[in-house]
Structure 1
Amino acid sequence: MSAWEQRRSLSFSEAFDLPLSVDLRTAARAFGICSATAYKLIRLGRFPCPVLRVGHCYRIPTAFLLRALGIEERPVYAVPLEQDLADPSTHRDDRPGTEDRT
């Protein structure tokens, strides 16, 4: 992984793929800050969301991370998108002038 990839912020879709808790480096990336700044904020008690200390590691619950980022709810899909795209019978075109002409 290049230095740029390690420093860039998480994309919206990456945020929804996170596990139940993340390490401090991932949380820092989500906030767009470096790990050193994240450790400093924890020491000062100013990290933007609750942090759990597990042994020598910090873990951040993803629900608190997303809430701090302003993402209150995850999108829910009844059918996984891959299945929906594979079955053309489930697609509807709601644009004007595209009604079924059967």
Structure 2
Amino acid sequence: MISLLAAGRLLGLSRSTIYRLAKAGAFPCRVLRIGGRYAVPVRGLRALLDHTNLDHINEDGINEDGPNSRPTPEKG
């Protein structure tokens, strides 16, 4: 699981859009409400992003390769 905010940022969405979509049930992947927080299962997010270089993202949505690193494009 990762936070809704981290998932939304990986999708390139603004904070207000992220929460508006979650509240409306329109976020592009499954969102769980746990207590007063939203969480996104990593499996669904990976499927949405087509398994594109998410191995360097930890469960908190933090890029473990450093803040300025970018995913390497797939070849072929």
Give the 4+ runs in structure 1 shifted more than 4 A.
Answer: none
The aligned counterpart of 2:27 is: 47
Distance 2:42 2:33 in 1: 15
- TM-fit CA distance, 1:34: 1.3
Structure 2 gaps of 5+ residues are: 56-76
- TM-fit CA distance, 1:25: 1.0
**Aligned partners of 1:24 and 1:35 also within 8 Å:** no
Structure 1 gaps of 5+ residues are: 1-20, 76-102
The aligned counterpart of 1:37 is: 17
Higher helix residue share:
1
Instruction: Count residues with an aligned counterpart.
Output: 54
- TM-fit CA distance, 1:42: 1.3
Distance 2:24 2:37 in 1: 17
| TM-score, normalising length: structure 2 | 0.63
1:67 and 2:47 matched: yes
The aligned counterpart of 1:8 is: none
How large is the RMSD of aligned CA atoms in angstroms?
1.8
Higher Cα Rg: structure 1 or 2?
1
Distance 2:23 2:36 in 1: 14
| TM-score, normalising length: structure 1 | 0.48
Structure 2 matches for 1:71-82, cutoff 5 A? Answer: 71=51
